[in-house]
Structure 1
């Protein structure tokens, strides 16, 4: 898989019937390795190495957007179980555009996380959402939950 702009981490890879699989420590199962899954698992490993609790991470959690079933890529919760940071992951070959940002913003209209992010493993963008003014502000770094000691 492609080198990413993320810290190197060890992940469990296996090959079965000519296909590559990667272990997801949150869902506790092997998943077919795709470029998007590679980004998701590498980003997840970075978060876990920073002290994010496995119990406060949701992967591909179901939600409704305009009455359609969707799945969020990575969702971090705070200690109270409230959505904290929603991250949309794309394959490294996918350019991050306004459409990518609109996708995660639409998902967040349901979840109401105070922070959102997009990544393709090479570039990462994070925003703080102000629901009162319906505005957002780009951040210079990854917004970690308050329980993480910096």
Structure 2
């Protein structure tokens, strides 16, 4: 897998029958290593190791229903009250982040109502703060660190 614009993290790998798996520390299992998963695992470690979010408030790849369609979000980080602090959309490094990517995460956020959005392909990272009342967003240089 190609290097990404994250620090280097201590991943665990397992190979079997012509495929490689990476250990997901949130789901506590090995998952097939594909380009988007490579980005997702780096993002998880970034949230935990750089931004200091506890593993216990992070959820990965869960199904939601948006406009009567079943979708899967990549990563959410919860607040202590159960609301969502951060919604993350991960793409393969080969995929350019474009308006369609932002439209996708915005659709998910209509349902999830996160305070912050992060969109990444591992090479480029975008962060936004959402004002749900005014229905607008502001781009940020980074998402906030965890605070109690």
Verify same fold: TM over 0.5. yes
TM-score, L = length of structure 1:
0.94
User: For structure 1, which runs of at least 5 residues remain unmatched after alignment?
Assistant: none
Q: 1:86-109 deviations in whole A, cap 9, x for unaligned?
A: 000000000000110110010000
Aligned mates of 1:142, 1:7 — CA distance in 2: 16
Matches within 5 A, 1:62-141: 62-141=63-142
Aligned mates of 1:8, 1:74 — CA distance in 2: 20
How many residue pairs align between the two structures? Answer: 147
Aligned mates of 1:113, 1:78 — CA distance in 2: 10
Q: CA RMSD in A?
A: 1.0
User: For structure 2, which runs of at least 5 residues remain unmatched after alignment?
Assistant: none
**Could you tell me whether the CA contact under 8 Å between 1:127 and 1:139 is conserved in 2?**
yes
Aligned mates of 1:55, 1:80 — CA distance in 2: 13
TM-score, L = length of structure 2:
0.96
Q: Which runs of 4+ in 1 moved over 6 A?
A: none
Which residue does the alignment assign to 2:24? Answer: 24
Which residue does the alignment assign to 1:7? Answer: 7
